[in-house]
Amino acid sequence: MKKLIFTLLLASSLIVSAQEEEKKSFTLSGSVDTYFRGNISGGNFDTAPGSSFANNPGFSLGMINLIASYEGEKVGFVADMVYGPRGADAVFNSVGNSSSIVNQLYAYWNVSEKVTITLGNFNTFLGYEVISPSANFNYSTSYLFSYGPFSHTGIKADFDLGGDTSLMLAVMNPTDFTEFNPNGSYAFGAQLGFSGQYVNFLYDQGAFEIDFTGGFDVSETFFLGVNAAYFSGDDAPGFYGAALYPQIATSDSFKIGLRAEYFVEDGDFGAIGTGVADSSVFATTLTGNYSIGSLTIIPELRLDSASEPAFVGDKSLSSFLLAAVYSF
């Protein structure tokens, strides 16, 4: 009888332990990427488009991205580290390189099934694209993404309103100041989502940005992504533009897509590089994604055509890129 009771107690403790283990988990994930980029026509050898993350000539490094996350029943955290040229561009405003490898660092509390509060440094909620190349279809990034904010530090609350509707409200440091607040002012953000379509708003020290990000499954093999944004500041240059992302899956392992973007500087914002106010650029990027297990090979043809000379005396620049992204 004692042996039977002991066995039952042991079994029950194992069941309880197993149930507890199901409620919390620790994961380590990330990616490694590298690429080659060369110009076909326009500009010099090292001339590059005016967007971020894939601008170096010849064979170049992207970054290593390590994401440690803990998910409990009520609480959790994410520690997202980046290292390499792409990572350095993503965290460009870290003071004295003290946080130069921290892409995201936040903790969260699931207050209820409908409300989550997050505190710390998190990537921006604006825009169609993200910093990690493993989460983008195109390897090079758009002008809209490159000149919107990359990350914020603050507190945000996410609300599940039911019926595929969500709301996010945030109070944050001034844009791109991810380590501390330099002047005592704060930025305010909001996001309203419905069935995968999002309207985003950011107000920061007299400047504001409104952004729409979404996408539609036209068929089982055809997806159309959409991004549009307008940024304006008090007595400061701004920008506006739109981009379409049609993508077709030809097989389980290969997809092909196009990014067609029109971007305008409202004043001399400095993004395109013409030095002329109210410049514009139309950029088309044809990208393939070929998956071999966890490795994705990404060939890319890109043509940037500006209204004024932006590429060392030329109005247009065509380039070829071949990237490899390994996700784990």
> Cβ(280)–Cβ(306) under 8 Å?
yes
Q: What pLDDT does 9 receive?
A: 44
Q: Is 40 exposed, middle or buried (0-12, 13-18, 19+ CB in 10 A)?
A: exposed
Q: Where are the domains of the chain?
A: 26-327
**How many of the other CB atoms lie within 10 Å of CB of 179?**
16
Residue 309 has phi, psi (to 5 degrees) of: -55, 115
* 26-327 has CATH 1.20.1630.10 classification: no
> Cβ(274)–Cβ(308) under 8 Å?
yes
The candidate with the shortest Cα–Cα distance to 285, out of 317, 308, 315, is: 317
Q: Along the 328 residues of the chain, how does pLDDT read in single tens digits? A: 444 344 434 544 544 454 455 568 999 999 999 999 999 998 899 999 989 899 999 999 999 999 999 999 999 999 999 999 999 988 876 665 556 799 999 999 999 999 999 999 999 999 999 999 999 999 999 999 999 899 999 999 999 999 999 999 999 999 989 899 999 999 999 999 999 999 999 999 899 999 999 999 999 999 999 999 999 987 778 999 999 999 999 999 999 999 999 999 988 888 888 888 889 999 999 999 999 999 999 999 999 999 999 998 899 999 999 999 999 9
